[in-house]
Structure 1
Amino acid sequence: MNRKIGLFFGTFNPIHIGHLIIANHMAEFSDLDEVWLVVTPHNPHKKKSTLLDNHHRLDMVYKACEGYEHLRPSNVEFNLPKPNYTSTTLAHLQEKYPTNEFCPIMGEDNLKTFHKWKNYDVILENHEIYVYPRISGGKVENEFKDHPKIKRVDAPVVEISSTFIRRAVKDGKFIKPLLNQSVWDYIKLMNFYR
């Protein structure tokens, strides 16, 4: 059976309710059958010092996805050559699961720079891209504005950042409402971000 899988990439450092709201909305209110939360090993644009080990971030994504029928954690990028590009991940997944259709999910802000991605034209040729709104995104007025492969999903706008959460934890703030209960417990247990 041909299944349509949304791929929601992130360092998830940590995963928070904003990620879950968007992923779940994509799974429930679009034609995607499932959303895989793909934990990216290390983004060269992010400072590595604040990035928890891959397995800790994956553990948190597993904990956060419990009870969500259509959300699945994925570590597919952990074993791909570095630096890794979305186009490589898509090619790998398509080869491994030839009957599935894989669709990257991105915020509108990322669409603005999508033309700078490695092999972006190949991605667009072979995959639909699902876009959710961002306050910081602004409207995209470039070649992707009315592209037939770009599907806009009117998801809730959630402006919570993992950076904000890490800072708040470091400052001893009580931010439990921003995290799934088991993720909150795990961060406290492991003494992360302090």
Structure 2
Amino acid sequence: MKIGLYFGTFNPIHIGHLIIANHLAEHSDLDQIWMVVTPHNPLKKKSTLLDDYHRLEMVHLATENYTKIQPSDIEFKLPQPNYTVNTLAHLQEKFPSHEFSLIMGEDNLNSLHKWKNYDVILENHNIIVYPRLHSGEIDAQFVNHPKIQKIDAPIIELSSTFIRESIKNNKNVIPMLPNKVWEYVEHNLFYKK
């Protein structure tokens, strides 16, 4: 089975994440997309994150009607901060018959060379890259790399940071979040201050 791993803090998950995940579920050879909720991205401040289980619950709520998209808490059980190379090794050991590919935005491809053991990741896994408007200059070693596949997906310029700031400033974010996620955020008064 071919699994696409879409990593994120999903703080909160929004319609942009779902549009990309669904596009790959429907228009690629991937059998499933796993939305991997990252407890702590080494490149982000932990203090800005909602509790892991709240973010996982929001991913559950957002994906419950998608048969090919599912939440994953695999990184919750691994040492923190989480390094993708370790998560991939763990998944490959746990699911030896699955083929795992990484899903990332073009902007993340720019910092791939800073990732722990990125060469090992590229040796063993494909990377599927979706377009971003402001991705900057791609490192020469990743241009035309046989393991990196750029896909023609919708360009979504929506960020969780923008949504959190909007909520804090009492702006209406209903169109940006799946309904049940918005209800969960509103009910729990998340991101209000």
Question: How would you bin the TM-score normalised by the shorter chain?
Answer: over 0.9
- More displaced, 26-35 or 39-48? 39-48
- 2:47 matched residue in structure 1: 49
Q: Are the equivalent residues in 2 in contact too, given 1:112–1:142 (CA < 8 A)?
A: no
Q: CA RMSD in A?
A: 1.0
Q: TM-score under structure 1 normalisation?
A: 0.96
- 2:16 matched residue in structure 1: 18
| Counterpart secondary structure, 2:140 | coil
Q: Within 2, Cα distance between the matches of 1:49 and 1:168?
A: 19
Say whether residues 1:90 and 2:88 are aligned partners. Answer: yes
Change (3 A) 1:117 1:29: same
Residues 59-100 of structure 1 deviation map (CA, whole Å, 9 limit, x = unaligned): 000000011111010000001012221000000000000000
What number of residue pairs does the alignment pair up?
192
- 1:134 matched residue in structure 2: 132
- For structure 1, the 5+ residue unaligned runs are none
- Offset of residue 179 of structure 1: 0.3
Q: What amino acid sits opposite 2:64 in the alignment?
A: E
Residues 152-179 of structure 1 deviation map (CA, whole Å, 9 limit, x = unaligned): 1111000101011011111111110000
Q: Within 1, Cα distance between the matches of 2:8 and 2:30?
A: 19
Map 1:21-32 to 2 at 5 A. Answer: 21-32=19-30
- 2:4 matched residue in structure 1: 6
- Offset of residue 17 of structure 1: 0.2
Residues 115-150 of structure 1 deviation map (CA, whole Å, 9 limit, x = unaligned): 221111111111011000001113525111101111
Map 1:84-123 to 2 at 5 A. Answer: 84-123=82-121
Q: Are the equivalent residues in 1 in contact too, given 2:103–2:129 (CA < 8 A)?
A: yes
**Identical columns (%):** 64
Q: Within 2, Cα distance between the matches of 1:25 and 1:152?
A: 13
Q: Within 1, Cα distance between the matches of 2:81 and 2:139?
A: 30
Q: TM-score under structure 2 normalisation?
A: 0.96
Q: What amino acid sits opposite 1:67 in the alignment?
A: N
Say whether residues 1:169 and 2:186 are aligned partners. Answer: no
Q: Are the equivalent residues in 2 in contact too, given 1:17–1:178 (CA < 8 A)?
A: yes
- 2:144 matched residue in structure 1: 146
Residues 13-42 of structure 1 deviation map (CA, whole Å, 9 limit, x = unaligned): 000000000111111111111110000001
- For structure 2, the 5+ residue unaligned runs are none
Q: Within 2, Cα distance between the matches of 1:95 and 1:159?
A: 35
